[in-house]
Amino acid sequence: MSQPKYQSPKGVHDILPDDHLYFSFVKKVVRHHCRRAGFRRISTPIFENIELFNRSIGDTSDIVEKEMFVFESKSGKKFALKPEGTAGVVRAYLEHGMQQLPKPVELYYIEPHFRYNRPQKGRYRQFHQFGIELIGESDPAIDAQIIYIAHRINQDLGIADRLTLQLNTIGSQEDRKQYKEDLINYYTGKERSLCEDCKRRLHDNPMRLLDCKKEDCQILASMAPKLETVLSAESKEHFDLVKEYLDELGVSYELNPMLVRGLDYYTHTVFEFWSKHEGAQNATGGGGRYDGLIEEMGGQATPAIGFAAGMERTIEYMKEAGIRPPNKDKVAVFVAQLGLVAKRKALPLINELRDRGINTVGAVGKSSMKAQMSLADRLDARYSLILGEVEVREGTIILRDMERGSQETIPIEGIVDKMTELLGGKALSDKRLWEE
């Protein structure tokens, strides 16, 4: 087959109807758990002023250093496509006076994000994340609750047992000042064994050296001083309580002192969900506390915590686990017609069936009956209703059971009720379907 003339750019994908079955299912589960826990949905723009990300995510993060899609307006102002969700949500929180709302403010999002990285399995240039942010509460019980919601979502998507929860604390900003000095001292004199990224980051952001994936850097990192040794009593207590609450909630975790997360804004609890088979590679999601970010962005000091997961990776794991989401697109009734009078009768019938909440496809073109029935087969319709001129004259319709391959001629009167009954008896108006 020859290549089509136009193809999607490298690293970005179409979401085809079969994929949307998964996306819709993931969204539904996410919405369900967020609503149950009092979270309300927010959407922020696809692009923001670039300074927002530089400031919040941090100049030395991978995202800001290498992965942002940056563009300039005609007047020379720089923008970036959003690479992650928290910065935009916090900007919106401050911009719209949400500080005045009763605390905690609980928000969630389901949005596309963009990172300019080398496309490979599980790593794309446009991907989708769902995320939750809880602003205005510092209690460690909240950390455990946020992790629990993420875990419950994974459970309901059928992938929880393929993942491990990696947990760490990176302490307060005060703890880290001391720790960063300790790390710089430890690495000084060992620079030659470090990769280029780590060499560059050593003085600006030495903690990032701990989660470098290069082998030599990992060996050095494993012998580096541990943050634990400089953790203040308060930070330690916070983390001990998070662990205790997680135990209480029955969520198992692996303590991972190397987990620092890539972004500057984290404090205290950080966590990621890793694949049992692939480890850190292709984590499905992660998050942590960011108690300093809101003040950093010009608001009053306000504690907060968040979590985000990648939908594409989540869906890949669902597929690996053999999870098949319900197919709500399935065609229940196919209406076939032959001749002008039959078409006139078929048109309102199609709409009546749809108004009852029955997925209905009608062949209203000029195809032969054979072609229409072959289409009904290809669409995998559960039933077909067939109208010809004879049926119209006699006030009947042919009902074909596509699964059994049997058919009968029955009165057209009451056919919508009959189909509703055959398909499970749920007679819902569209309005009620939307409200469900």
Stretch that binds ligand AMP, among 122-130, 174-182, 214-222, 246-254 (CB under 6 A): 122-130
Of 269, 297, 262, the residue nearest 88 (C-alpha): 297
Task: Give 145 or 284: the residue with its C-beta nearer to ligand AMP.
Answer: 284
Question: 176: closest CA among 219, 228, 220, 138?
Answer: 228
Nearer to ligand AMP, 116 or 186 (CB): 116
Query: What minimum distance in Å lies between the beta carbon of 166 and ligand AMP?
Result: 11
210 in Cβ contact with 258 (< 8 Å): yes
286 binding ligand AMP? (CB under 6 A): yes
Three-state secondary structure string covering the chain: CCCCCCCCCCCCCCCCHHHHHHHHHHHHHHHHHHHHCCCEECCCCCEEEHHHHHHHHCCCCHHHHHHCCEEECCCCCEEEECCCCHHHHHHHHHHCCHHHCCCCEEEEEEEEEECCCCCECCECCEEEEEEEEEECCCCHHHHHHHHHHHHHHHHHCCCHHHEEEEEEECCCHHHHHHHHHHHHHHHCCCHHHCCHHHHHHCCCCHHHHHHCCCHHHHHHHHCCCCHHHHCCHHHHHHHHHHHHHHHHHCCCCEECCCCCCCCCCCEEEEEEEEECCCECCCCCEEEEECCCHHHHCCCCCCCEEEEEEEHHHHHHHHHHCCCCCCCCCCCCEEEEECCHHHHHHHHHHHHHHHHCCCCEEECCCCCCHHHHHHHHHHCCCCEEEEECHHHHHHCEEEEEECCCCEEEEEECCCHHHHHHHHCCCCCCCHHHHHHC
Residue 123 vs 343, nearer CB to ligand AMP: 123
Task: Among 124, 187, 245, 271, indicate the residue that binds ligand AMP (CB under 6 A).
Answer: 124
Which of 24, 54, 117, 178 contacts ligand AMP by CB under 6 A?
117
Residue 256 within binding range of ligand AMP, rule CB under 6 A: no
Q: Which of 127, 148, 334, 383 binds ligand AMP (CB under 6 A)?
A: 127
Instruction: CB nearer to ligand AMP: give 131 or 388.
Output: 131
285 lies in the binding site for ligand AMP (CB under 6 A): yes
SS3 letters across 230-270: HCCHHHHHHHHHHHHHHHHHCCCCEECCCCCCCCCCCEEEE
Q: How many CB atoms lie within 10 A of CB 98?
A: 18
Distance CA 186, CA 226 (A): 11
**Least distance in angstroms from the C-beta of 282 to ligand AMP:** 7
Taking the complex as a whole, the smallest distance from the CB of residue 272 to ligand AMP amounts, in Å, to 7
Q: Which stretch binds ligand AMP (CB under 6 A): 123-131, 184-192, 331-339, 353-361?
A: 123-131
Choice between 11 and 339, CB closer to ligand AMP: 11
Query: Which one among 44, 129, 267, 275 touches ligand AMP, defined by CB under 6 A?
Result: 129
The tokens for 275 are 């694949």
Least gap, CB of 124 to ligand AMP (angstroms):
4
Counting contacts by CB under 6 A, is residue 310 touching ligand AMP? yes
Please report how close the Cβ of residue 283 comes to ligand AMP at its closest, in angstroms.
Answer: 4
- Interaction of residue 115 with ligand AMP, rule CB under 6 A: yes
| Segment 62 to 91, residues that bind ligand AMP, using CB under 6 A | 84
* 49 touches 76 (CB < 8 A): no
Q: Name the one range near ligand AMP by CB under 6 A: 28-36, 120-128, 244-252, 363-371.
A: 120-128
Q: Which is nearer to ligand AMP, 69 or 186 (CB)?
A: 69
Query: What part of residues 183-212 is at the interface with ligand AMP (CB under 6 A)?
Result: none
Does 381 contact ligand AMP by CB under 6 A? Answer: no
Closer to ligand AMP at the Cβ: 122 or 299? 122
Of 270 and 386, nearer to ligand AMP (C-beta) is: 270
**123 near ligand AMP, rule: CB under 6 A:** yes
283 binds ligand AMP (CB under 6 A): yes
Q: Quick one: 166 or 284, whose CB is closer to ligand AMP?
A: 284
- Measured at CB, which residue is nearest to ligand AMP? 310
Residue 124 or 187 having the CB closest to ligand AMP:
124
Figure out which of the listed residues 312, 325, 396, 415 binds ligand AMP, where binding follows CB under 6 A. Answer: 312
Nearer Cβ to ligand AMP (81/349): 81
Tell me which residue of 50, 136, 35 sits closest to 88, measured CA to CA: 50
Nearer to ligand AMP, 58 or 310 (CB): 310
Instruction: Enumerate binding residues for ligand AMP (CB under 6 A).
Output: 84, 115, 117, 122-124, 127, 129, 283-286, 308-310, 312-313
